[in-house]
Amino acid sequence: MKISVVGTGYVGLVTGVALSHIGHDVTCIDIDEDKVQKMCQGISPIYEPGLEELMIHNIEEGRLHFTTKHQEGFAKADAIYIAVGTPEKEDGSANLSFIEQVVKDIATHVKNDIVVVTKSTVPVGTNDYIKSLLVNGLPKTINIEVVSNPEFLREGSSVHDTFHGDRIVIGAESEAASNLIEDINKPFGIPIYKTDIKSAEMIKYASNAFLATKISFVNEIANICEKLGANIESVSQGMGMDKRIGSMFLQAGIGYGGSCFPKDTKALTQIASNIHHDFKLLKAVIEVNNKQQDLLVEKAKTRFGSLEGKKIAVLGLAFKPNTDDMREAASIIVSQHLIEEGAEVTAYDPIAIDNAKRILPGAVTFADTLKQAIQNTDAVFILTDWSEFKELDMDVYKQHMNNAVIFDGRNCYELEDMKKYGVEYHSVGRKTIYVEETQPILK
């Protein structure tokens, strides 16, 4: 089929590339001319493993196209996918201005019957709103249907998730429109779940809010484990063996970030508030997560007494590994608080350095390599569990730091290894390893 995708961020670009890879003729539309020119050459504007290879392959096969012209992109399309951002407003609600602009563009340029598919995460009722705008903006001779088709992709794994997802959700009021989107997605070979539009919209928010809840819950358990002398990794593993609970999203750390969980949890509390429902549980989830991001700084203040003049390396700036996305990354809050405490901060990330330079405080110094970042430092903060950090020889810390003191917000290392190497190690929900514990007691 002929498909148009408006927006080439994580969701739009991955969706468009994947749909072309399963055989559809896809045109991705973006208003940024430089970005479009690079994409036409197979250069991805985002870091996502495996994406550029698929882009190049499908461009060469003649199934994937990019343009800034809506009229060209919409011409004779069977379906138009809306995949633009819905950023968070100050009150936590979703900003629909980009959605509304796409609707205006569709109303201006579409000349044939069309099914509009909303991939963007939008509040419940938004698809009805989109349809009302289109009905009022398009000629009466054009039949318009709107379908909710939320995405469930993890940044850093979105290409894999697209082809190996758990389900594809289709929310529609028209059976014909629902069947069309089902036919488009059948080649993925993923279970398809059909429902009404509002339920599909809620499935997206409810799913992300539930996963965020698991993260905040296990982080609270981790904080209790530290005080009681239990090990959160043992606790999480024992919990996860229960099929009713499952092992996913039970890894303790310094909280969630990124473009989805923070925005969607706040949006859902706002949606609830709009219908006079106080979503107390989700408010607590958000509060716990905000507090958790301060955990390492508080640990360091307890350890050193004062961070004034301390040289600290921050390793990992993106909100998670295998992405260059800095949205709601822990590094933003942590580096700011370290600077406020008087520390000298040097930051390093394998991929996200360029994006981080535009976002982190101006007082942060950036390093080109891990060894450069930790040279002559008093402490290291690990905020993203990149493989480069997890696989690092512990002797590197001992050789380059003033004293090997690590504050690990992602529990990258085994406690026994820290004992063996004689590294002072502060993690989340586990016993702190001090160098003295590895030394013989002299009498």
Active site positions, annotated = 260
Q: Residue type at 98?
A: F
CA-based nearest residue to 17, from 200, 163, 183: 163
204 is in an annotated binding site: yes
263 is in an annotated binding site: yes
13 is in an annotated binding site: no
Q: CA-CA distance, 408 to 385, in Å (whole number)?
A: 9
372 is in an annotated binding site: no
173 is in an annotated binding site: no
CB contact set of 90 (below 8 Å; sequence gap of 6+): none
35 is in an annotated binding site: yes
DSSP per-residue letters across 3-60: EEEE--SHHHHHHHHHHHHTT-EEEEE-S-HHHHHHHHTT--SS--TTHHHHHHHHHH
CA-based nearest residue to 46, from 37, 31, 56, 35: 35
291 is in an annotated binding site: no
251 is in an annotated binding site: yes
257 is in an annotated binding site: yes
352 is in an annotated binding site: no
What are the φ and ψ backbone dihedral angles of 226, each rounded to 5 degrees? -60, -40
- Phi-psi map region of 81: left, alpha, beta (phi>0 left; psi -120 to 50 alpha): beta
Query: What's the token pair of residue 384?
Result: 């993203």
72 is in an annotated binding site: no
154 is in an annotated binding site: yes
252 is in an annotated binding site: yes
393 is in an annotated binding site: no
DSSP per-residue letters across 84-122: ---PBPTTSPBP-HHHHHHHHHHHHH--S-EEEEE-S--
Beta bridge partners of 311: 344
338 is in an annotated binding site: no
Q: Residue type at 84?
A: V
295 is in an annotated binding site: no
Contact 427, 408 (CB under 8 A): yes
Annotated binding site for substrate: 152-155, 204, 249-253, 257, 320
Annotated binding site: 30, 35, 86, 121, 152-155, 204, 249-253, 257, 263, 320, 327
Annotated binding site for NAD(+): 30, 35, 86, 121, 155, 263, 327
